[in-house]
Each structure stands twice: as C-alpha cells, then as structure tokens.
Structure 1
Amino acid sequence: MPAVVLVGAQWGDEGKGKITDYLAEQADLVVRYQGGNNAGHTVQVGEEEFKLHLVPSGILYPGKTCIIGNGVVVDPGVLVQELEELQRRGIDTSGLRLSLRAHLILPYHKSLDAAEEERRGAGRLGTTGRGIGPAYVDKVARTGIRVCDLLDPEEFRQKLARNLKEKNEILTRIYGHPGYSLEEILEEYLAYAWKLRPLVADTGRLVNDALRAGKKVLFEGAQGTLLDLDQGTYPYVTSSYPVAGGACVGAGVGPTAIDAVIGVVKAYTTRVGEGPFPSEARDATGDYLRRRGAEFGTTTGRPRRCGWLDAVILRHAVEVNGLTGMALTKVDVLTGLSPLRICTAYRYKGEVLREFPASLKVLQECEPIYEEVPGWEEDITGARSLAELPAGCRAYIRRLEELVGVPVDIIAVGPRRDQTVAVRDLFSR
C-alpha cells in the first residue's frame, strides 16, 4: 500500500504528529496537504520535543522527502523561522519542498483575522489570529498571491499593490488600523523569497512520480474532521478541508491513488475554541484529563476542553473519510480512571440520535447517552504489543472497534516515538 492518508477523526489535537512521525520511518515522502501555521504537531524523540507548525513531521528522519502541498497556506516568515530552529537543533531540512501553487499569508491577513474575530464579540469563532481564514478567503475570491508569484518580484509587486489598495481601505475605514506600506512588505517578503527559493518545486509532480515508481507516500492532515469546512461543526471550523478528500486536492493527486485512510483518534475527546461539545466533562474528570494529558494547544497554549470518547463523532469520521483503520492515541492518560464512559448516541427532545446532526442548534441541545466500561490501573507505557496491555484496556479498544466499525491499527501508549503498539503494518498489508 504505497499511499496512506492520515486524518484527525475528532476536533484536531488527536496526536497526529506522533503517528505521522511513527509511520514516516517507513515512508519515502511525507506530504502536508492543507491548513497553515494554525496547526501544531508535537513529536517527542527520546528526551527531545519538537513542535512543528508547517514542516511535515517526517522531517525528523534523515533522507525523507517532505512536502508542503498546494493546499497549505504559508506564512513565509513562520516557515523560515521554523526551518532555522530545526537546523539549529541539528535537523537536516534539505529534503523539504514547497509547492509553487501554495498561497501566501500576508501581514494584512493576520490583521483582518484579529479584527474580524474581535468584532464578532460573543459570537467569536476562536480563531488563532494567524491569518489562515482571510488567506483562504482571498484564494477563493481569486485574489490570492502564491509562492510562484513571490519568486517573480515584478509579479509580486503588481499583485500586492492591487490587494493593498482594497485591504488598506478595509483596515483603515472599518477597523481603524493604520494599514500597510507596499515597500515594507516587499522588502520583508522578497527576503523570504531568497531564502525559500531552493526549496520550491512542482510538488504535485514529485508526489505523482513517486507513486508511479511504487514509493511509499504518507499524506499528513492538520486539524480534524469536525473542523472541516464542509463536514465539521460549521461555522466553528477551519477554512480548509482536513478530511481525506482534501489530500487529493491539497497535494495534487487523484483519488484512485489513495490506498488506505487512517483516522487518528484520541482515547477521549478534546476541542479548542467555541461551539457545542456533547461529551464535554465540565467536572473533575475534565480537569484530570487536561492535566494528565497535557491538553494545551501546541500553537496557542490555550487549554483544551476535555470529555469522554464520542462514538457518534467517530462514526461520522469513518463515513466522510472512508476510514480503513484507526490510530488510537493517549490511551495511557485513561489509566486509573474507572469506570470509563463512551458516548454511543445523543438524546434530542426525547429522540435518540445515532448519527451526527448537521445543525449546531440541534447539537447544542443534545445530551450524551453513555455506556460505561471498566477501566484499568496498570501502567501501560511500557507495553509494545497488544498482549502486554491489561485486559481492561484491550476491552476498551475492542468496544471502540465495535461501535465505529473499523479496526485499530496503532496504539500510542505514551508520547515518545517508541511508546507505540503496532497492531498491523499499514504500508504492507
């Protein structure tokens, strides 16, 4: 199976960075296909911790080709800084390639993001303020500026001047912002262009050539299914397509190229920002999960809302992604909690809902229906096979598989690369 897509099956923050890093050892190419530096993947290698925002997690393995695809919106200043930090820590970044077709985040995108969020007041969406949404808005409005434009100074100047005329008017007249100088942005961004030029490539061709050659390609998504622009809890979503279908559009490959889709599932549920969350635990259990699981955003540091595992959400993720398997993360965090609860359905005005509703008004009024299962007390961080996990843990995993209808292929029993139980070999099965 040369092509595997890794997607978040909940509201993001499922531990995709660790799983991508684990699978990247077998892959030839690792491709990030959507989102921007609003995402953050934390990878722990031995005693070292790496926080990645734009660079694919496979960069931590020497000799891997890592690609930032056309579906990603790129803040070049953040990318340069991230590369310099990795290099400072001894990581070889020469295998990174950046798509010519990727769109740029510009300073006015970040200002508009912050101003629009502030104006929403109580209806705020909980954005990171990093300009992701406004950059995607420009992409859809066909006024975006791409990496290929940045490499052509005259083309970049013309497009930037055109955009600044409109953006400065919006910023000054509506939001009271002083606006931006064309020359200052040009000076800053053309310096980034000089640094990034050696990395830029037609990445879609690179990926397709690799697939034709039978190489192993891992597609890495950011955020999660319920933050997908179409399939998530709209409008409390991101501005791109984290679902598996987004890998095709965001990397430039056809759907027939994909062999397997793995949903990364946290052993409980978390989300950041606003919006309904039926299985949220607003009690000591939620505090326990947050503290024990270190549930604070990689990018923002914001505390995550925590709750019990929600099988309704996961069945939705199975359907819209076509999941062929799951990678279950942070199972060790549940040690010592008993009984464990799994939300199997919702109750809405006396009706039992087993499918995830589209309406946020309905979702807001849903009450979780829980099934209780025994927990376990044994430390599982040293387990390296399914047989080494305690009976209670194995029963929890089996019940999850029964409720959502797909197998668990990987189990993360700790944050380190080696704290992983491989149930199946994804690239060869």
Structure 2
Amino acid sequence: MRNSTPSGCPVTTVDTEALIADPHSVYAGLREAGPVHRVTGPDGRPAWLVVRYEDVRRALADPRFSLDKRNALPGNYDGLRLPSALDANLLNMDPPDHTRVRRLVAKAFTPGRVERLREPVTRLARELLDAVAPDGGADLLAAYAGPLPIAVICDLLGVPPQARVDFRAWTDHLITPDPAHPEATRDAVVSMMRFYAELIASKRERPGDDLLSDLIAVRDDASEGGEDRLSEDELTSLAFLVLFAGYENTVHLIANAVLALLDDPERLRELSEHPERLAGAADEFARFDGPGPLAIRRFPVTDVEVGGVTVPAGETVLLAVGSANRDPERFAAPDRLDFGRDRGGHLGLGHGIHYCLGAALARMETEVALRELLARFPAMELSVPRSELRWRPTIRARGLISLPVRWEGRN
C-alpha cells in the first residue's frame, strides 16, 4: 500500500511477517520501487528506510547521521529503553565520545590478539562437537553456535565459568520483547544490571589478565586522566555492549552460515572438500544473510538528501544493510553464495567509524566453527522440513530460533 507524505515521498506499508520470513524478496521489491521509503519502524513510529547499496554505504559514513538519541525529534523515536549504566555505549555515541571510548577497547580486538585465540576456540569447538556426536543430531543453535561465542567473549572479558548465566534469554527479551509481558524485559534489565555491577566489583577486588580488568584500571587510575578516562556508566555500558554484541551477532552469523550451506549442497560440498576456502568465507556469509539486516538507527542533525529524497532533521533513519548486500547494482548474482567473489565492499559488518569492532573475532570464530563442524559432519542435513524453521520475530535481527540437524560421518 502506498500514499504520500507531505514531503512527497511515498509511504510504504511493509508486511512485517513477510520481512521476517523472507527479507531478501521483500527488499528486492523495495529496491525496485525506489531508494528510500517512508515506513513504520520497529518501534511503531514512522521512519525512513534506505534500501539501495550506494545510498546505504554513503549514509553509514556520513557524520550528519547521528547515533545520539538526543538528536531525535521529540516523540519521533521510542526504541529500546535502558538505564544509563547500560545505555552509555558506542551504539548511542558520536565523536568525540565515540572516538575516545572505542580507542580504549579496540586493542582487545586487534587481528594479532584475535589470532592468539584461534587455538582455544578450536579446542572448545571440538569439545562441543564431541558432546553431541553420539546423538546423531542436535539443535546446532543451542548446542554449538550459541555456546561457542559466549564462552569466547566471556573469556575475553574475564567472566569466570561459575558466573556465566543465561545470556541468550536476556538477549531474546531485549531484541524481541513480548508486548504482552513487559515485565520479562524489565526483569532481564534488572538481572543484567545486577550481573555487571557484581562482575565489575569482583574485578576491582581481584583484577585479572582480561579486557574488563584493563578497562577498570583505565577508569580508576587517576594518572590516566584527561580524555582517556571512562565514566562509571561508560565502563558498565562498554562491558554490556562487548558481551551482548559479541555474543548475539556471532551466534547468528554462524547459524545462518550453516543454514545457507544446508540450502546449497554444492557449496556445502565445496567447503567440506576444500576447507582452505573457509578463510575469508565469513565475509560472504555476512553479505549473504548476516545477523544485522538493519544498521543501528540514525537521526540526521540537519535536513539530508538521500536517494533524491529530503529527510528532515531528527527523524529516524533505518539503513537496510541486508538489502544493500543483495543489490544487483553492486554485487553480481547477489542471491548466490559465492566464495570466489570479491570480499570487499559488503556492509554486513558495517562501514565507516561504526564498523564492527569485533569483526576480526567474528570472522575467526565463524571460520573455526564451520571448519570443525564440516570436518566432523560433512554429510549433515536438516532434521525437519525447511518450512518448519522459525526466525526470531523481529526485523532488527536475523536469527533462527533453532537449527535442528542430523548427521552421518566421522564421529
């Protein structure tokens, strides 16, 4: 359904259920219809949806598009509400605060440091597969794609095994809140606040060789002073974001990659027989069906022209990276999984100053997870009809609820 706003931009009614079930077909129709659409956003408020590659890429790096919610028009945005101790994170910051906070945590995700994690990640992947191998099948999301990233990010932050809780439940309540049970989301936030407060207090008392201890030292050491100081809210929010994003996105990058291979037996056979081609494959999986189909919302600080449409200052802008990554104007045969294509240019891990901080870690974990899985179970297949798979009921994240598979082969 289409009519017009006062600015002349068509209003598009997007079928949310269709967008969840088959986003790539919906986005193909939207790209064909126009570069920018006036839609109802995930929070029920009006938003501008940008769907073509060049426009999305340009906007991702345009400083006129702010992440700071204070630049939203009053009443225009009603997204996820978190207490300041969790909300003062990089997803809500512009420079110079974004630059300062990102610099402090970036050292934990350098390629060299990430590469040193490859051996323990490989060891953990094999242990997880050992546990399910005798069963002849498993829900790979619950038994493998979920536990692997959470263990890695907890080790990076220094969360001891006995303190690790059900992060997946918290994540689900935040990403897909149930309007009928708002208390579940509130309880999740309270639980997270308690968890991070206790974890930071424990690290202050007994620091270790981990990222969180390093960040606490930066926060507490008066000799650091000046621009490199973190506020207490920034410290807590940074720990929250690293754990939340480092877990959430990698889980679904791995699971979506497995499903893409199960949907394409030729590509599954290719990677099983040529595991060396897994190097760099995470970028193609992130392009093909990444876990973040929409970039974090933006708010123009001035009127901005996008795709020939003037977007007023302060209104919500949604950049559809999932659509951009299937734009045939940028990618040849975009609906085909192709590990030989040019890896550069996809937007599945972001672009510009907000490029994914943990991209190197996500790539390494995905490569290791798939390498070990395919080596162990090269003949795996879905154990339910494809039509029975269910996606999380949100357009903000692209992730399965479960991924049941069965296998034959070397155990």
TM range (shorter): under 0.3
> What is the TM-score normalised by the length of structure 2?
0.25
Higher relative contact order (CA 8 A, sep 6+): 2
> What is the TM-score normalised by the length of structure 1?
0.25
Larger helix proportion of the pair: 2
